[in-house]
Amino acid sequence: MDSFKKQTPDYTDIAYKEAVARLRYLLAESYSPHSSPTKSFQIQRADDSGDEVESVALSERSRHQHQHFLPPYRAPQYGSKRALYTDPTTKLPHTYSTQNLPSTGITEGQDTTLKPEGSLPPPELMAFIERQEEYIEQLEKESQYCRDELAALLSKVKEVISENEGLHEREKAGLLKSVFNCFETGDEDVQEMEPEGKLEKQKLQSSKKQRLEGPSIVFESRISELEAQLTQTKMDLRKALEEADLCKKKLADQPLSFEMHSPSSAAGCDSHRQQIENLQREKNELNESLMKLQGAVTQFREKEAEASLKVKRSLDIVDQAQFEKAQAELEVRRLKDELDRQHEKLRELLQEQGRKVQDERMQLERRYTQQMEQLSTDLTSQWDSSSKLQLELEKQRRVEVDLRRDLQQKTVMIEELKKELQNKIGLLQAELVQAAVDRGSLEQELASSKLAVERAERDGRQEVSKLQAEVAALRQRLDRADADLMHSRRENLRLAEQVASLEREVNLAKMTKENADRSSSSPSKQKTGQREKELTAMIMDMETKHELGVMVAYNK
């Protein structure tokens, strides 16, 4: 169990750090100038040798995993991933530099602002790196899950062992308590069985004060004490029996007629009889106490046998606990072996992953060359687009200057409006004061007007009666006016029909006039003109009559 307390090396962290270092090295190599094939071969051989060294180091660590702790983490030699993207000194390779591109007439300042765009990595490489990071995170999660499962299993084994030990201790404590309780109950039974004799009470009280302090030695001492008490009671019983026999013999030797001779002899006989009865009672009590003591001795022997059986059972339980502990240790060793196997499998998976990374690195290098050619063409198009964007930017700047001027003019106007508003506020405040003064005067007028209204109400009540009579008369007039209105409406409709017919005639006259103008001479024109004048006069007379009728009806 002590070997599990030592910290086991975390191979997943080692593998993760090595994989990240390799990816960083790949990125640094991909963005560095292309070297000669001899240099790339040397780098590849160095990588292979590094892999061999790392595999040897992992095997040595697996041999000494229970003797050494994990060494401190060594910083990577190839820098961080962030430095690859934020370093402004990283440039394109010489074969894809901007010097080989056609000139586009853009200033050097724009060139410096657009150079970092070409140094960004291709999206496929970033996607591959993200996939590798996800795969490494998955391996980390699996290894963490295995570690958690192993820790949970070890904690369960420890809990089972601690529970077994606690159960054994509880059984031992319960066994000892039951034994002590049995002996205490035995003492109480013996005390209940005591005779009324003073000597026996003193002996039993002295034995009651003595308590048990050991398992087997205490039992033997207690049994020896009880046996001594039993022999003492037997000796007392024999003495009492001998005294009783002597008394019986004395009574048998004396004559039976001593009661008739003197009252003193009769009194002595009564005293002897009382003594005999007392002795018989003591004899019976001693016999009963003897039987009880014999029963107590048998009970103590039975309890001793039960205690010995319980001790044997407790020893068997202890042996079983030791056996279970040995089995648990074997299970722990088996789990250690299983953990070693899991570490070996994880190591093999990491080695396979390293091989896959190398293969994918070669594929990425091929893709990188193709993408660099594509990026060179994209860069030319970006130069053109950047020149267009600069022209648009200048236009936007001019528009911004114009908008700022408008904004200044509007701010000046707003300030003028604020001044005017302040002047108006002053005027309104003066008007408000004047309105308050007017309000006081109006309130006085209101009081006087209320009095006038009350007077007017009185006058109005008097006039109401008069007005009601007038209203009745006006209602009659209104009915008459309604009848006249109906008559005037009918007349109006009739006149409208006449006007329509006259308009038709006028139209016909115009048509005939046009025809006549074409065919006839000037005298005919005069006749048609007179006729038109007559028609218009008739229409005007009819309209005036209609208006007069409407006005008369309205006045009624």
CA dihedral angle for residue 500, residue 506, residue 511, residue 514, rounded to 10 degrees: -160
HEC-encoded secondary structure of 120-151: CCCHHHHHHHHHHHHHHHHHHHHHHHHHHHHH
Residue with tokens 């080989």: 100
pLDDT score, position 268: 59
In terms of DSSP H, where are the helices of 32-104? 37-63, 81-86
Q: What token pair was written down for 126?
A: 């970033």
Write the CB contacts of 190 (distance below 8 Å, at least 6 apart in sequence). 204, 207, 226, 293, 296
Q: How far is CA 233 from CA 229, 244, 283, 292, 517, in A?
A: 6, 16, 12, 11, 183
Q: What are phi and psi of 286, to 5 degrees?
A: -65, -40
Residue 27 pLDDT: 64
Residues 104 and 383: beta-carbon distance below 8 Å: yes
Amino acid 219: pLDDT? 60
- Residue 537 neighbours by CB under 8 Å, 6+ apart: none
For residues 335 and 3, give the distance between their C-alpha atoms in angstroms, rounded to a whole number: 13
pLDDT at residue 108, as a whole number: 38
Report pTM. 0.22
* CB < 8 Å & 24+ apart, contacts of 508-516: 509/535
Classify burial at 539, counting beta carbons within 10 Å of its beta carbon; exposed 0-12, middle 13-18, buried 19 or more.
middle
Q: How far apart are CA 314 and CA 308, in angstroms?
A: 10
What contacts 306, CB < 8 A, 6 or more positions away?
Answer: 182
* Cβ(164)–Cβ(325) below 8 Å: yes
Instruction: Give pairs for 308-313: CB < 8 Å, separation 24+.
Output: 310/175, 310/178, 310/179, 311/175, 311/215, 313/175
Q: What local confidence, expressed as pLDDT, does residue 98 receive?
A: 38
Say which residues have a Cβ less than 8 Å from residue 218's Cβ, sequence separation at least 6. Answer: 183, 212
DSSP states of 331-388 as a string? HHHHHHHHHHHHHHHHHHHHHHHHHHHHHHHHHHHHHHHHHHHHHHHHHHHHHHHHHH
Residue 493 has what pLDDT?
84
Whole-angstrom distance, CA of residue 409 vs CA of residue 154: 82
Report how far residue 20's alpha carbon sits from residue 357's, in angstroms, rounded to the nearest whole number: 11
Tokens 């140094």, residue?
119
Determine the pLDDT at residue 105. 38
Cα–Cα distance measured from residue 433 to residue 341, given in angstroms and rounded to the nearest whole number: 100
What values do phi and psi take at 499, rounded to 5? -60, -40
556 residues of the chain, pLDDT tens digit each? 444 444 455 556 676 677 777 766 666 665 444 444 444 444 444 444 444 444 444 444 444 443 433 333 444 443 433 333 334 333 333 333 333 333 333 333 444 334 434 456 677 777 777 777 787 777 778 777 877 877 777 777 777 777 777 777 777 777 667 666 665 555 554 444 444 444 444 544 444 444 433 445 556 666 777 777 777 777 877 787 787 777 777 766 654 444 444 455 556 567 777 777 777 787 788 778 778 877 877 887 787 778 778 777 777 777 777 787 788 788 888 888 888 888 888 888 888 888 888 888 888 888 888 888 888 888 888 888 888 888 888 888 889 999 988 999 998 999 999 888 988 898 988 888 888 888 888 888 888 888 888 888 888 888 888 888 888 888 888 888 888 888 888 888 888 888 888 888 888 888 877 777 776 655 555 666 677 777 777 777 777 777 777 676 656 5
Residue 132: CB atoms within 10 A of its CB come to 18
Distances (CA, A) of 248 to 52, 230, 277: 117, 27, 11
DSSP H or E run through 523 = helix 522-555
Whole-Å CA distances, 124 to 40, 121, 371? 22, 8, 10
Q: In this structure, what DSSP letter does residue 9 have? A: P
